[in-house]
Amino acid sequence: MKPCSRQRRATRRRVPRVLISLLAGFGLTVGLSASPAAATEGIWINEGGPARSPEAMSGAWFRGDLYEVLRGEDNRIWWRFANGAWLIMPNDGRTAHRPEMVTVSDRDNGTPYLVVFVAGLDGEVYYSILRGADGNLWTPWTRMPGTAGASGAPTVTSSSGYTMVNVRSNDRLTVQAGEMHAGVFRWEGGWSPYANPRVRGSASIAQGARQVGRWNPVMLPYIAVGNNRRVWIARFPADSVATARAATFTELPGGGECESVAIGRGGPEEPAADPNSAEGRAQQNTGIACVSPNDHEVYLNRSTDGGQSWSGWSRATGSSSVTYSEPEVYGAPGGEVFASISYQGAEGNGVSQHMVFVKRIL
């Protein structure tokens, strides 16, 4: 991946402009044309700019700005904020999978922290905490306790400081939980498997403190690709790893086969107190992106009630979205939901391999 040559712009009061860039595409639409679509589905946009990555890009909203992270073609971990220059995260972290970026609130005082989790080249899970965006200041990479044996990217969720890190290890999903106190994680000690299902592909959970809500308690949707290539889903409380491990997965209605999946939602970071408020309704917007094993295009499924009912599978509209790596889905505070891919289809018209594309899906 080549670093961006643009100078980083001011980071505060950037939310409207960054959101407009994602929705409208401003100057980053490269050789991709729109086709008739639902009003809430946009076109594929070269959101990565000069970046090239064999994986999708992960994003999180933190202190009013959009932060993004990806794996470079050199296996290093690159990040940026407020649509600024791409920077290499310090301390020589490397990964063969997509990094995961998440906002974690301190259990003691509610202070938010931005954290990046990766599966290292040794199959163990590491994390680094942002200390200063302007100076590219991050804590050293810290290995999580136990032996993860990760065979894919970690997927992480956090609610009020209680954080669950999930990873695929061969054909099992495993999880480890912990809390953040005074900016330091205290892990509960070791990885443990979910009761089911056996999986052949990726798994994904609604990311960050921006939980998909059914309020009291906050419930999480967790999806995985089963051995039959179908998408399986479970819902469990955000603050109980024991309940998560024993969760019952059921096949997502509507059929459809996937080789990899991702789920995410829109709305503010913290769960809304009132599910009928604008913030509460925004937090119900949930999207799933699936890469088909047949044509390797992206297919979408949507929910506006927090994952209790779904629209059914439909191919992403517009130009080709061919990819052989896992997609990513993340949201914006206003309720919009976006899918990200590493493009791996035919080249031409300004489009090349490993460009990072994003489109609004809800």
H or E element: which one contains 278? helix 278-282
Q: In the prediction, which pLDDT does 314 show? A: 95
Q: In the prediction, which pLDDT does 223 show? A: 85
Q: In the prediction, which pLDDT does 207 show? A: 46
Highest mean pLDDT among 50-54, 228-232, 239-243: 50-54
Query: What's the rounded Cα separation, in Å, for the pair 93 and 239?
Result: 29
Does the pLDDT of residue 224 top 70, yes or no?
yes
The residue with greater pLDDT, 208 or 185, is 185
- The mean of the pLDDT values for the chain is 82
Q: In the prediction, which pLDDT does 215 show? A: 34
Highest mean pLDDT among 13-27, 131-145, 157-171, 276-290: 131-145
What is the model's pTM?
0.84
Q: Spell out a b/e string for 117-126, using b for 16 or more CB atoms within 10 Å of the CB, else e.
A: bbbbeeebbb
Does the pLDDT of residue 293 top 90, yes or no?
yes
Query: What's the rounded Cα separation, in Å, for the pair 297 and 277?
Result: 36
Give the residue-averaged pLDDT of 34-59.
80
In which band, very low, low, confident or very high, does the pLDDT at 24 lie, cut at 50, 70 and 90?
very low
Q: In the prediction, which pLDDT does 275 show? A: 77
Q: In the prediction, which pLDDT does 198 show? A: 67
In which band, very low, low, confident or very high, does the pLDDT at 199 lie, cut at 50, 70 and 90?
low
Pick from 331, 344, 202: which is nearest to 268 by CA?
331
Give the residue-averaged pLDDT of 1-12.
33
